[in-house]
Copies of this chain bind each other. A is one copy, B any other.
Amino acid sequence: MNAPMPPSKPATLHDVARVAGVSLITASRALGNPGVVSASTIERVRLAVEATGYIPNLLAGGLKSRRSRMVAGIVPALAVAQFLPSVQTLTDVLAAEGYQLLLGQTGYDAAREEAVLNTMLSRRPDGIVFTGLVHGAAVRARLRRTGVPVVETWDMTADPVDMLVGFSQAQVGQAVGAFFRARGWQRVGIATGGDPRALQRKDGFEAAFGRRVPTAQVPAPSSLERGRSALAELLECEPALQAVACSSDQLAQGVLVEAQARGLHVPRQLAVCGFGNADFAAHLVPALTTVLIDGPAIGRQAARLVLARCRGEPVEQRIVDVGFRIVERVSTA
């Protein structure tokens, strides 16, 4: 009735059941499936939990029930600001449903992608959310074979591993290209990072112009500093540059700063467009035109899809296009 547990051995459900005077499984149900247990029993178990300081062991439960209640979240690198809102929302929505996120970083490296995935799989996650598409064919095949629910995000393809929440990178590039052309800018340039998604946008942009466009490709991570050097590079091969499309708002900000440092007026002498609608974009001077992606929506939808699969609910729409929107501000006015 008392003996609040010697601190040596943490209490198990067995202890709780003993203290509550019920069987093990009844204690289990009182905690995990209260609907089928009488109110008075539930109360006694609750008291026993408090008395013993019991903390459930989800590892053990998961072994039998084959549900770990963990979701693996795989990102190129945590520090890529772009993805944070979606990962944050994903984590929050999952947590609200009792699922935890297991974090993996690939460093944009295919070999590490495979290694990370294998480690993750050995923890038997109930689902996996990738930031970006899964690259390796072998990895894709393996994922399909294991049958874990998989959500790829931040991109678009007709043939995802399983489920997909994203948007077409090529369409973004084309839209920005069309936007530039509509304003009559022909001496245009691209400042871009080297990751696959950014390069798809570059291709889309060039498609809109029907030709190659001067490009400064900067090494990761995409930053203000890189934006400055990118503009310097672009101006070297195209001194009469009229407009620059950037693969991130950080890069675009660097372009703004470098333009200012060179006495180039934005937008009068140089128009600039970013990507991502970072929190600062609207508040720079000049305010930055950019492409808005609804990161939280991506996280939320990814969570929804993964959770639906985990619960065995049917998923009506495996592929969700969250779209995008060009937000026009002063930098392209």
Query: What is the interface of chain A, defined by CB distance below 8 A to chain B?
Result: 7, 10, 53, 55-60, 62-63, 68, 70, 73, 77-79, 81, 84-85, 87-88, 91-92, 95, 98, 100-105, 116, 118-124, 145-147, 221, 223-225, 228, 250, 253-254, 257, 260-261, 279-280, 282-285
Contact = CB atoms under 8 A, between A and B. Distances in A.
B280 A122 contact: no
A51 B191 CA distance: 47
B88 A84 contact: no
Given A57-B124, A58-B122, A102-B102, A257 B285 contact: yes
Given A78-B91, A91-B103, A95-B105, 11 more contacts: A53-B145, A55-B118, A55-B146, A57-B124, A58-B122, A58-B123, A59-B124, A91-B104, A225-B279, A250-B280, A257-B283
Contacts of A63: 57, 59-60, 63
Nearest to A228: B283
Nearest to A254: B283
A154 B101 CA distance: 23
B79 A95 contact: no
A148 to B, nearest CB: 10
Given A100-B120, A285-B257, A78 B88 contact: yes
